[in-house]
Structure 1
Amino acid sequence: MIVLEKDRWNLEDIYQNQDEWEKDFGKVEMLLSEAGEFQVRLGECADSFFGALHLSAQIQELIVKVHSYARMKLDEDNANPLAQALFGRAAALLTRVETALSFITPEILSLPEGTVSNFRHDSRFALYCHYLDDVFRQKPHTLTGIEEQLVARTGEITRTPDDFFKMLNNADLTFPKIRDDQENEVEVTKGNFIKLMQNRNRRVRYEAFQALYGTYQKLENTFASALNAAIKRDIFYASVRRHQSARSAALFADHIPSAVYDSLVQTVRSNLGEMHRYMKLRKKILGLDQLYMYDIYVPLAEDVKWVIPFPDAVAMLKNGVAVMGDSYLEILSRGLGSRWVDLYERKGKTGGAYCDSIYGVHPFLLLNYQNNLDSAFTLAHEMGHALHFYYSSQEQPFIYSHPAIFTAEVASTVHESLLMEHLLQTTSDRDERDKKIYLLNYYLEIFRGTLFRQTMFAEFEKIIHEKAENGEALTSYFLKEAYHELNTAYHGEGMVVDAEIDMEWARIPHFYDAFYVYKYATGLSAAVSLVQQILTKGTPAVERYLSFLNKGGSDYPLNLLQEAGVDMASPHPVQDAINRFSGLLDELEALSGVG
């Protein structure tokens, strides 16, 4: 496919040519040589202390620019040997930067508290107030210099469970072939599995389901061993750093109390009746005697072929976010018209989608647009990240310009929710009934997959970590049993929980990044609450949200969301999201006529 220049991102906005990149590469190397001069000197005087912080920020801003440019050049064409070499050099330089600056935090924490307090009276340190507060928050969990070095040296060993899982899951597993709905033989892959599960032919869904999970089941003890090793690693690091549990250690980075995690699970648990209602409604609409796990992904609206070329997706998104005001819309339009986006799939290009932002330049989006609703929502999602990065970069210094994942996923989901609410509002129940059912189903699936399913994952993580922390073995039998019980609870009596789904835990890569998945559920909950405020309260809610975007990572996530109008320390945002889910169910029941 030939992709026009206007549909590619313009990396010349970062560097006009490789010579400019080489200059910054060399500048990073030069600044690194200066960093060593500050080691063991931070406590000498305010000038030394400030000089180290200022130099570190300079180096980090430059290395992000150098590294991101090289990675994006590679993402344009992964087969390009010049891009491979460029990225290899950038990655090596990044490692050197991390090593060279690693002395700063331990050395700050080794200084007498009064020394740092005296330095902070200097007005130059106002910029670093939140940064230093966060460094000292880590003091109870920071080791001596020698101990930190020893822990750092365990990194290559403790990555083994992740590497083992990735190689086994992505390289070594092969799945059987099945017959598709045209009786053609097709190999089941992780890439086409969901598409096969959406097939209206139930035989195809059943055979794909059996093929995938049957393959995992043959290696259940191997996958259990890999997950067990990852959990032991989590417990080891939590213990070494004097955290109460692996979960406490994981939540510590974003300063999230365990009560937030527990409240999410408890609130979702107490509202599982709505999830059960959705499963029963799905069963009725599909006309099934029994609903099985392989029936979950089938679209509820038949024969809706909605082709959405990119210009139409842009128009839809602009209409959806118009409530944010003219200035917001102007920035979004400028980005989409100024080659922030690398739009279409082509040979060698990295798959998927992401948004990256270069401080002092602008955000960049990688898409692989496919002219469908999924791609339209991916555009909305990544532009939500882009606008967040843009606003925070305009208002914050580099060190606070990138928000934490906990809040970043809120901004992207706000965009998706605004787009969906606009589409639901402008799609006629009578004249576009099938399309309306399609949209309601699509939105309900976002809630099912992001709020309910990710909370179930979060509960599974909590269960298996606590069992391991109590010294009990995580056998494949226990993992399957725990997972089966959760699926039964979350899907209700109207669902036949097939034995094959008991192996789903074996294919979830996020379980190797402990206690991460709950952020998807809290992100959706916060976003739904913010969107409802924006749509019902207008300007005051919009202004609070824009202020939230402006603040980037300058405070802890819960504080930033509180100021935006969402208290994630309470159950209310999660309950609000479930209430919206319930309202969508009411609409689908009425429209489908089978409630």
Structure 2
Amino acid sequence: MSEKVKLRSEIDAKHQWRIHDIYASNEEFEKELERVKKEATVLVNYKDRLHEKESLLAYLKDYEKYTRIVEKLYVYAHMKNDEDTGNTKQQVIMSKIAQYVAEYSAMASYFVPELLSLSDETIKNYLEDEDLSGYRFYIESIVKEKPHVLSKEKEELLATLSDSLNAPDDIFSIFTNADMTFSDVEDGEGNMHPMTEGSYSNYIISKDRTLRENAFKELFGTYGKYKNSIGTMLSSNMKTFNLKAKLRNYEGPIEASLSPNNIPVEVYDNSLETISEGVGALHRYVDIKKRLLNLDEIHMYDLYVPIIDVPEEKISFDEGVKLALEGLKPMGEEYLSIFRSGVENGWIDIYENKGKRSGAYSSGAYDTEPYILLNYHDKLRDVSTLVHEMGHSIHSYYSRKHQPFIYGDYTLFVAEVASTTNEKLLIHHQIENETDPVKKLYLVNQELEQIRTTVFRQLMFAEFEKITHETIQKGTPMTGEDFSALWLDLNRKYFGEDIVIDKEIEVEWARIPHFYRDFYVYQYATGYAAASAFAESILKEGEEAVKRFIGFLSTGGSDYPVETLQTAGVDMTSKAPLEATIRRFNELLDMLEEYIQSR
């Protein structure tokens, strides 16, 4: 019998994040919101005055002052809402700040186009002015995008339309999370199980093959019923992004996504080329998995089931923290002390409660702690989630500690690097210190699955995005049928001839929310490759490598992400990091081959 999910009020305060440190109550939040609404209107006063250095400086200082407050308000509201998504009071609070964020953005939208309308001589003087030295990179990074910024009126119009332009994503989210329902699924013994998106992740790793197959067919069969509608949502989202890219004079949608962070399109293309060259390793994995599972034929619904049977041990949160600290020991005492401080000082909301948002994330603002939402269930994978999210939070901690507000955040391109480096160190520690050969192989398979799902799978997603966006860019419409046909072709390419490509998989694209955040997914793979390079150097070189890594964490947004990584010793413009990841994948497969031969 499953344990009853507790109410929020039943969760011990010591296991909850301390967001009352941001605002003690909703009333305090409301007062701050009303105050900032009145005071932030001062930003409008600087419009048409940025040619005066004093006005530019005053704008930058006021913008920082009020943006810091707006960020705190937003963080408080969304975290309180996530504590219990059924709490209507918090839904109202969240709605208020979301609406104001749109207003605030529109109010400040004149800044970039007006700055770019200034003469080259004025900009040059600003970049050389000592009083503006703290903003030099910020101004440079804006000026770099001058060919792609619209007039003030058009930028204001786009900012005002942002809510409407996000409609495909909003509709997809509501439809798949609130309206779509699934029928119960039967296991091999005739028992029925409730089917949800959340429960599917448990069923697909079950040793009960009947349950796996039925869950797979129910999930994708249901999505298949709506592939035309969801296809229209996705196609509309892509058309909107392509339209923005065209309006901003980019050569294409990939450049539009990568250019603001100075990431060469070659980084994206190199990733797809490298994975295509190494895709044989994934074919090899499928073959080995088929043999280890003793299957006559392997299906798509067999991919996630563990190939090694070990009893799942319960790991309490305190034991999980201890294991995490052991795994991260190569990072040094300073890093470990920050980790401990986060655990002890209310960064983490640890346990599930009724209505709490599922999953896990790291959040926070420049003036708050880097908070973490968990749903810890005493499993080994929860420890991995803990070190992953703590990687994000410690990255934020170092960035905010060492950088001014204007550079206190980091880009999406490097967002997964610190979290994945933590995971790599943890799994390495576990594999190296496990003496039971069966448990060791279980861990080997865990790392293989990390690489398969984070590198191969995400780059398959990235290839799907590239092809679909470029097709739409050429003026060729794409429907749910077109998306499905392409998805089948990509599955054949990535998984090879030894697997049965079940027809139901053709609609998997329809359940991927990341496709509504254009050209985001490839960064999981590049981030993993960069993290692998960092973890390898930390384990081999020790303190010097740790210094470079902490230097990377401390850079925040004060330089472009590719340059930041290069300074720390990782060159993402080359194929080397991803090639090294594929080599590691093959090394792990060798361990599985040895196990097969020794049986």
TM-score range normalised by the length of the shorter chain: over 0.9
Deviation at 1:218, TM superposition (A): 2.5
Does the C-alpha gap of structure 1 residues 79 and 293 become closer, same or farther in structure 2, counting only changes over 3 Å?
Answer: closer
Using the TM superposition, give the Cα deviation of residue 159 of structure 1 relative to its aligned residue in structure 2, in angstroms.
2.4
2:282 to 247, 258, 275: 275
Amino acid at match of 2:389: E
CA contact (8 A) 2:19 2:76 kept: yes
Q: Counterpart in 2 of 1:556?
A: 560
Match of 1:118 among 114, 120, 125: 125
Residues 1:348 and 2:373 aligned together: no
Shift of 1:360: 3.6
1:577 paired to 2:584: no
**Which residue in the other structure is 1:510 paired with?**
514
* Alpha-carbon distance between aligned partners in 2 of 1:517 and 1:117, rounded to the nearest angstrom: 37
In structure 1, distance between residues paired with 2:78 and 2:232: 34
Q: How does 1:153-552 map to 2 (within 5 A)?
A: 153-428=160-435, 432-552=436-556
Q: Within 1, Cα distance between the matches of 2:409 and 2:189? A: 48
Alignment deviations for residues 353-379 of structure 1 (CA, whole Å, 9 cap, x no partner): 111233244211111111001211110
In structure 2, what residue type is equivalent to 1:397? P
Further displaced range: 67-76 or 413-422: 67-76
Tell me if structure 1 keeps the 8 A contact 2:109–2:156: no
The CA deviation at 1:20 is 5.2
Q: Quick one: which amino acid aligns to residue 542 of structure 2?
A: G
- Asked if structure 2 preserves the Cα contact closer than 8 Å seen for 1:250 and 1:515, the reply is yes
Deviation of 1:544 after TM superposition, in Å, equals: 0.4
Distance change in 2, residues 1:134/1:537 (3 Å): same
Residue type at the aligned position of 1:289: D
Please give the secondary structure, in 1, of the residue aligned with 2:218: helix
Distance apart, 1:249 and its partner CA: 0.9
- Whether the 8 Å CA contact 2:106–2:159 is kept in 1: the answer is no
Task: Decide whether the 8 Å contact of 1:285 with 1:594 is kept in 2.
Answer: no
Deviation for aligned residue 1:30: 4.2
Question: What is aligned with 1:28?
Answer: 36
> 1:218 is matched by which residue type in structure 2?
K
Corresponding position of 1:91: 98
1:220 Cα offset (Å): 2.7
**Residue in structure 2 matching 1:39, options 37, 44, 47:** 47
8 Å CA contact 2:374–2:386 kept in 1: the answer is: yes
Q: Which residue pairs with 1:141 in the alignment?
A: 148
CA distance in 1, matches of 2:591, 2:162: 51
Kept after mapping to 2: 8 A contact 1:359/1:398: yes
Alpha carbons 1:281, 1:594 under 8 Å: kept: no
Q: In structure 2, what is the Cα distance between the partners aligned to 1:80 and 1:171? A: 16
Q: What is the aligned length?
A: 591
Q: Are 1:194 and 1:297, in contact at CA under 8 Å, matched by a contact in 2?
A: no
1:236 shift after superposition: 1.1
d(CA) in 2 for partners of 1:476, 1:94 = 34
Contact 1:180 1:186 in 2 (8 A): yes
Superposed CA offset, 1:148-190 (max 9, x none): 2343444344323223323332333332332124422224322
Conserved? CA contact 1:279–1:494, under 8 Å: yes
Distance 2:186 2:259 in 1: 49
Taking the aligned partners of 2:342 and 2:174, their CA distance within structure 1 comes to 38
**How far apart are residue 315 of structure 1 and its match?**
0.7
Return the letter of the residue paired with 2:125: N
TM-score under structure 1 normalisation?
Answer: 0.95
Alignment pair present for 1:56 and 2:60: no
Task: Provide the C-alpha distance between the structure 1 equivalents of 2:180 and 2:34, rounded to a whole number of angstroms.
Answer: 43
Counterparts of 2:92 and 2:475, CA distance in 1: 47
2:198 aligned partner, one-letter code: G
**Match for 1:247: what amino acid?**
I
Distance between the aligned counterparts of 2:484 and 2:367, measured in 1?
A: 49
Matched to 1:174, the amino acid is T
Shift of 1:195: 1.4
- Please report the RMSD computed on the Cα atoms of aligned residues, expressed in angstroms: 1.9
Q: Matches of 2:231 and 2:358 in 1, distance apart?
A: 29
Amino acid at match of 2:96: R
Task: For 1:360 and 1:509, locate their aligned partners in 2 and report how far apart those are by CA, in whole Å.
Answer: 30
Partner SS for 1:192:
helix
Instruction: Give the match's secondary structure for 1:471.
Output: coil
Residue segments in structure 2 that go unaligned for 5+ positions in a row: 1-5
Choose from 1, 6, 10 the match for 2:18: 10
Q: CA deviation at 1:208?
A: 1.7
Q: In structure 2, how many angstroms separate the alpha carbons of the residues matched to 1:218 and 1:74?
A: 32
Distance 1:79 1:494 in 2: 46
Letter in 1 for 2:255: S
Work out whether residues 109 and 155 of structure 2, in 8 Å CA contact, stay in contact via their aligned partners in 1. no
Q: Equivalents in 2 of 1:171, 1:16: separation in Å? A: 32
TM-score between both structures, scaled by the size of structure 2: 0.95
For residues 12 and 235 of structure 1, do their structure 2 counterparts lie closer, same or farther at Cα, with a shift above 3 Å needed?
Answer: closer
8 Å Cα contact 1:31/1:55 also seen in 2: no
Cα–Cα, structure 1 residues 277 and 4, in superposed 2: closer, same or farther, change >3 Å? same
Answer whether contact 1:437 1:592 (CA < 8 A) is retained: no
Q: Distance in 1 between matches of 2:418 and 2:152?
A: 38
Q: Is the 1:180–1:204 contact (alpha carbons within 8 Å) kept by the matching residues of 2?
A: yes
Deviation sequence 1:236-255 (CA, Å, 0-9, x none): 11111111111111112322
Question: Whole-Å Cα distance in 1 between the matches of residues 99 and 490 of structure 2?
Answer: 44
Determine the C-alpha separation between the residues in 2 that align with 1:4 and 1:156: 38
Tell me how far 1:564 sits from its aligned partner: 1.3
Instruction: Report the Cα distance in structure 2 between the residues aligned to 1:246 and 1:264, rounded to whole angstroms.
Output: 17
Q: Percent identity?
A: 39
Residues 272 and 463 in structure 2, CA contact (< 8 A), matched pair in contact too = yes
1:559-580 Cα offsets, whole Å, 9 max, x none, are 1111111100000000111111
Equivalent residue of 1:478, what SS?
helix
Distance 1:264 1:159, change over 3 A: same
Preserved CA contact (<8 Å) 1:304 1:438 = no
2:3 aligned partner: none
CA distance in 2, matches of 1:310, 1:331: 17
SS for the counterpart of 2:198 is coil
CA distance, structure 2, for counterparts of residue 303 and residue 588 of structure 1: 15
Compared CA separation, residues 234 and 436, structure 1 to 2 (3 A): same
Structure 1: distance between partners of 2:323 and 2:88: 39
CA offset digits 1:388-444 (Å, max 9, x no partner): 11111110011111111111210111111111111111111xxx2222122111111
After TM superposition, give the deviation of residue 550 of structure 1 in Å. Answer: 0.7
In the aligned structure 2, how far is the partner of 1:291 from the partner of 1:214? 19
Deviation at 1:131, TM superposition (A): 0.7
The residue type equivalent to 2:346 in the other structure is: R
1:401–1:474 CA distance, 2 compared to 1 (3 A): same
